[in-house]
Amino acid sequence: MTGPCTNSEYDVQGTGGAGSVHTATRTYTMPKAGIRVGVGGHVHDGRIDIALERTASGQEICKNTAVYMESMPGMLMDMTGCSNSTSVGAGEQFTTTSRYENDSPLLGVMGIQVSYVHDT
Ligand SMILES: [Cu+2]
């Protein structure tokens, strides 16, 4: 059975040159109202950050930023999380934007962001 979450991988071609950024976005609609109490990101090496915003206003809700090991550049160590509480409207749209470095090919990367929403 194929669902919307069975394959979350995509490729970054890496043809943008030094310092360039590859961006992938996805917009989704929340079925119910609630309070978003936390946001976390799932990451692969090469990730810069993944951001969540209200689609209509562009207001940023959370940005999960990649944390790399100082002793081993390019080795992902952690990801910042967000624990601020924000409202979610029934039918409100949100956009997740995943950014990777685009100076060398990255195969099968992911841009996953998980929100914890308290049903009100
Ligand atoms: Cu992954």
Please indicate, yes or no, if residue 25 is contained in any of the structural domains. Answer: yes
Domain range enclosing 38: 13-82+92-119
How many angstroms does the Cα of residue 106 sit away from the middle of ligand 1? 12
Ligand 1 centroid distance, CA of 110 (Å):
5
How many domains does the chain fold into?
1
Residue 8 counted as domain residue: no
Ligand 1 centroid to Cα of residue 100, in Å, is 13
Residue 23 lies in a domain: yes
Q: State pTM to two decimals.
A: 0.87
Residue 97, in any domain of the structure: yes
52-55: Cβ within 8 A, 24+ apart? 52/94, 52/95, 52/96, 52/113, 52/115, 53/94, 53/95, 53/97, 54/92, 54/93, 54/94, 54/95, 55/27, 55/92, 55/93, 55/94, 55/95
Question: Ligand 1 center to residue 114 CA distance, Å?
Answer: 13
CA of 120 to the centre of ligand 1 (A): 31
Give the Å distance between the CA of 74 and the centre of ligand 1: 16
Question: What pLDDT, in 10s, does the model give residues 68-119?
Answer: 888 987 888 888 999 889 999 999 999 999 999 999 999 999 999 999 999 9
Q: Convert the pLDDT of each residue in 36-64 to its tens digit.
A: 999 998 878 888 999 999 999 999 999 99
